Amino acid sequence: MTYPYPQRIGNWWLEEKLGSGFSGAIFRAQNLHTGQVVALKLQHVDAECPTNRFERSFYPALQGGVGMPTLWGAGVEGQYDYLVIDLLGASLDSLFRKSGKDVMDLRSVCCIAMQVINRLEFMHSRGLLHRDIQLGNCVIGLGLNCTTIYMIDFGFSKFYIDPHTRRHIPDSKVKRDFIGNYWFTSVGVHCRGQVPSRRDDLEAVALMLIHLLTPGGLSWTRNGVPKTDSAHDRLIREKKNVRPEDLCRGLPSEFEEFLRYCRRLKFMDCPDYARWVEEFRQLAISRGYPDSAEFVWPAPPDPQPMVRAIAQRPTQPPSAGMLATVLNDLAKLNFDERPVLVERRELVNGVRPSKAKDKENAPARAKKSKGAGTSHDVIVISSDEENAPAPRLPKALLLTRLGYAVSHATDNATLARLVHEFARVLQSNSSRALPRGGAMVLDLLHKQLADPDVFVEPLRTRSMTSSNAGEEQPRQVKLDKLLALRCDVAKAKDNEALAKMVAEFGDVINRSNGRTITKDGFAFLEGLAARLRALS
Ligand SMILES: Nc1ncnc2c1ncn2[C@@H]1O[C@H](COP(=O)(O)OP(=O)(O)OP(=O)(O)O)[C@@H](O)[C@H]1O
């Protein structure tokens, strides 16, 4: 039922209608005495779902938080229940729709991730769950606050810390009607009728981020809001059955890891918000984006479109155009040798394809690579000459390029050279910590050595899902393992054995304090390069 809206309520003069929801409408309003301009959320007292009544009780707990609207007034006057809050800008939903793009750019998505996870950390620290995370409930600020994302619509919120007992609300095995929205509410709450807790707010964020990066959005959002029970059942089935790896195919691994992480959390677990903010920050940095969580919209032109393009998993064959761009860029890094690639399927455990085949493929390859066509057949990131000038490129970009070259290397000699280059890049770091881009290179190297045509779970994911996930190893254990790896690498029989060692190396470094690479670690990498040369 719709109700006629008054022109004035309390001290507020209602102006333009900004939007409307299930139970009411929201107006820009002005204070009759001070001229202050605000947003006023109006609901009829007989509204079917009187969310203002609940929202009013949650706002006080949220005051003072970054990205939390200030509550300026609230009450019931006549037939209307109203809430007066900061006037804010457009929702992420409307910004994205108006952009006309099929997917949102990675930098913006990383900023959304960092900010929304921070907002949830704040809300949860005040004992409150949001329970309706969606793009329409994330809005940007106005004026100086236009790069800050605000959370709105606390109509479905709930205190998960009982204000009287100060304890977490209890779980229940009894299935309940779901609360939230069709698109992003967690599988546990939406499809299994579980009681929502902090983990579910976070899972909704994960789904929202994946949605933004998926052409056409998450598959279950494509038919619109389900209008019948059977359509809703279908949606639930689809949402429940899709595997994280399928949802996140082609996306940077952080998104799949984040979704899996949320789904592994137990009902009362406190999520590690800082870790995920840092993961998305590092992801943005590793792709060459500024180190900032500010949500700048419209998204500025991408300074490194090539880097973003190769965020795709290497299992997806790059287009000829993309390949040409990447090869051109690689060529600029150095070089007296020019890259020529052969088909990935021709790499069998480091055995070089036959010369005859090389010749057959030569014309096609030459077209893809500007300047190709010389007799050289490897990608060179830098020459072996000691005094060759070091490329002045950000480390993250160098590592990304190395990763790309590793995933397209076709013989052990190339891999050997890339591993040597990898060790050099890591050593040029002021810190000896393995950067995120370094972990990616190890992942790709492991995959190349194990079997380039088979999907190999990334090392970082594996170490986090293992039974001793996240556990740090005592320093001595780490040192012993690295020493053993350093000694054993020279005796490795084949690429498979080397793949196992790379996996072990990544695991040891990942689980060590500060992820530092010791002298033995570097010696292992050099030993690996030598062994690859010997096996080529
Ligand atoms: N503070 C604000 N400033 C400017 N616009 C706002 C503000 N709050 C909400 N809006 C706009 O109004 C729309 C509806 O707001 P909100 O979600 O709070 O209402 P609702 O009635 O709870 O909606 P729903 O039924 O969709 O949950 C938002 O999507 C947004 O576009």
| Residue from 5, 139, 142, 184 whose mutation best tests the ligand 1 pocket (most atoms within 8 A of CB) | 139
Burial of 207 per CB tally in 10 Å (0-12, 13-18, 19+): buried
Burial of 274 per CB tally in 10 Å (0-12, 13-18, 19+): exposed
The pLDDT tens digits of the residues spanning 328-379 come to 555 554 433 333 333 333 333 333 333 333 333 333 333 333 333 333 333 3
Whether the CB of 24 sits within 6 Å of ligand 1: yes
Q: What is the pLDDT of residue 370?
A: 34
Which region among 16-25, 143-152, 333-342 has the lowest average model confidence (pLDDT)?
333-342
Whether the CB of 310 sits within 6 Å of ligand 1: no
Is the Cβ–Cβ distance between 442 and 506 less than 8 Å? yes
Is the Cβ–Cβ distance between 421 and 391 less than 8 Å? no
Is the Cβ–Cβ distance between 304 and 283 less than 8 Å? no
Tell me how far apart the alpha carbons of residues 390 and 386 are, in angstroms, rounded to a whole number: 10
Integer-rounded Cα radius of gyration of the chain:
27
Residue nearest to atom 29 of ligand 1 (CA): 136
Active site residue 507: no
478 is in an annotated binding site: no
Question: Separation of 96 CA from ligand 1 center, angstroms?
Answer: 16
Burial of 163 per CB tally in 10 Å (0-12, 13-18, 19+): exposed
Residue range 422-438: mean pLDDT, rounded: 79
Distances, alpha carbon 391 to alpha carbons 87, 127, 185, 397, in Å: 49, 50, 47, 11
Q: What is the pLDDT of residue 455?
A: 56
Distance in angstroms between the alpha carbons of the first and the last residue of the chain: 76
Q: What is the pLDDT of residue 399?
A: 83
Question: Separation of 34 CA from ligand 1 center, angstroms?
Answer: 24
Whether the CB of 87 sits within 6 Å of ligand 1: yes
Q: Which residues contact 78 (CB under 8 A, 6 or more apart)?
A: 6, 9
Q: Which residues contact 266 (CB under 8 A, 6 or more apart)?
A: 199
Q: Which of 132, 153, 443, 520 is catalytic?
A: 132
Q: What is the pLDDT of residue 426?
A: 86
Q: How confident is the model at residue 467 (pLDDT cuts 50, 70, 90)?
A: very low
Residue range 405-424: mean pLDDT, rounded: 86
Tell me how far apart the alpha carbons of residues 104 and 284 are, in angstroms, rounded to a whole number: 14
Task: Indicate whether 313 pLDDT > 90.
Answer: no
Is the Cβ–Cβ distance between 239 and 190 less than 8 Å? yes
Which region among 136-140, 208-212, 437-441 has the lowest average model confidence (pLDDT)?
437-441
The size of the chain, in residues, is 536
129/336: higher pLDDT: 129
Structure tokens at 124: 């949860």
Question: Separation of 154 CA from ligand 1 center, angstroms?
Answer: 10
CA atoms within 13 A on the CB side of 174: 3
Whether the CB of 67 sits within 6 Å of ligand 1: no
Q: What is the pLDDT of residue 235?
A: 98
Q: What is the DSSP letter of 535?
A: T
Task: Indicate whether 273 pLDDT > 60.
Answer: yes
How crowded is residue 52: how many other Cβ atoms within 10 Å of its Cβ? 23
Whether the CB of 6 sits within 6 Å of ligand 1: no
Indicate the average pLDDT of the chain: 82
Question: Separation of 315 CA from ligand 1 center, angstroms?
Answer: 42
Whether the CB of 444 sits within 6 Å of ligand 1: no
Q: What is the pLDDT of residue 231?
A: 97
- Helix (H) or strand (E) holding 426, with range, is helix 412-427
Task: Indicate whether 170 pLDDT > 90.
Answer: yes
| Residue from 5, 26, 30 whose mutation best tests the ligand 1 pocket (most atoms within 8 A of CB) | 26
Whether the CB of 400 sits within 6 Å of ligand 1: no
Which region among 89-98, 251-260, 296-305, 462-471 has the lowest average model confidence (pLDDT)?
462-471
| Residue from 137, 152, 154, 179 whose mutation best tests the ligand 1 pocket (most atoms within 8 A of CB) | 152
Task: Indicate whether 72 pLDDT > 90.
Answer: yes
Q: Which residues contact 228 (CB under 8 A, 6 or more apart)?
A: none
Share of the chain above pLDDT 70, in %: 78
Q: What is the pLDDT of residue 400?
A: 77
The pLDDT tens digits of the residues spanning 241-250 come to 999 999 999 9
The pLDDT tens digits of the residues spanning 185-229 come to 999 999 999 999 999 999 999 999 999 999 999 999 999 999 999
Question: Separation of 183 CA from ligand 1 center, angstroms?
Answer: 17
Task: Indicate whether 462 pLDDT > 60.
Answer: no
Q: What is the pLDDT of residue 277?
A: 98
Residue range 293-308: mean pLDDT, rounded: 76
Cis peptide upstream of residue 6 (ω within 30 degrees of 0): no
Q: How confident is the model at residue 393 (pLDDT cuts 50, 70, 90)?
A: low
Whether the CB of 22 sits within 6 Å of ligand 1: yes
Question: Separation of 88 CA from ligand 1 center, angstroms?
Answer: 10
CA-angle at 369, arms to 305 and 395, nearest 5°: 45
Query: Could you write out the DSSP letters of every residue in 279-337?
Result: HHHHHHHHTT--S-----SSPPPPS-HHHHHTTS-TTSPPPHHHHHHHHHHHHHH--SS
